[in-house]
Amino acid sequence: MQANSTARRGLSLPPYLLLILPAVTFMVLMYGYPFLSSILRSFINPQGEFSFENYGKTIDLYLKDIGFTLAVTVLSTAVSAVLAILLAVYFRLRQNPVARALAALYKIPIFIPFVVVAQMMNSFLAPHGILNLALAKLNVIDLEHPLQLFNFYGLTFGFVWKMIPFSTLIIHGGFQMIDNSYIEAARSCGAGLTRVITRVLIPMNRSSILVALVLVYSQIVGTFTLPYMLIGGKIPTTITVDIAHRINYFSDFGVANTLGVFSYLLVLITAVYYLRSSVKKMTGYQASEV
């Protein structure tokens, strides 16, 4: 009897599983199933047979676009991270009216959707847009030969403008958690501003910076509106624009799913790094507790 009761207790499910079941079910249906379905369908050719035909076609047609997407994403993420760290450091170390005003203003782009950002960039970066007109007024350029920014550089500028406030919000929140005593101790030992930033603030806020980098990188890879409205049908373009093009004009879901797989692989780079860092951090905490 005691063995049977023990067996029953061993087979019983923890009560908290019932609480997380709705959330897990939603995640599986809304994210897990489409993710696995797109991977499986990428191996199905137009005749309904298992094949690598879609991958060969994708590499032949869109390899340059895949490289373009990776380059734009990496550069935009890196520039956004550097500028966000500098802004977050300024807000953390400077408590004056200018810093408070900027802290209130920089959050505004977070609430502006990408379609609005794309329209703003179209007006700002156009050959006779606001930027070129301003540079012509300063005699920096000739308006007969304006800067052509509906390309890699203009797209990077648009992503950076949109992503800096989001990154700053996360990184600044981490800086706020650092006690002033660490900064004061570093300064009392003769550390200048650069050493305070590189030896105290950034190392102690590494997790928040990593989270910001991963979120910004993933969001840029999956953005469709800004590349579509800024670059349009130019070559090269981003993977998301190619996916829409294959579906809308050719109804080629096989290649579209294959492009989706390549976008998953691009995001997997940061996901693996983030998970490894998180596991190392948790292992360090457990070792310190022991």
Q: How confident is the model at residue 283 (pLDDT cuts 50, 70, 90)?
A: low
pLDDT of residue 11: 56
Q: What average pLDDT does the chain have?
A: 87
pLDDT of residue 284: 58
Question: Which pair of structure tokens corresponds to residue 253?
Answer: 């879901």
CA distance 262 to 74: 15
More confident residue, 8 or 194: 194
pLDDT of residue 287: 53
Query: Fold for domain 61-289?
Result: MetI-like fold (1.10.3720)
Q: Tokens 């080629």 sit at which residue?
A: 252
pLDDT of residue 288: 53
Share of the chain above pLDDT 90, in %: 53
Q: Tokens 């550069």 sit at which residue?
A: 75
pLDDT of residue 95: 78
Integer angstrom CA distances of residue 25 from 15, 21, 59: 16, 6, 35
CB atoms under 10 Å from CB of 264, counted, come to 15
CA distance 279 to 285: 10
Q: Decide if 44 contacts 50 (C-beta within 8 A).
A: yes
> What are the sequence ranges of the domains in the chain?
61-289
- pLDDT(67) > 90: yes
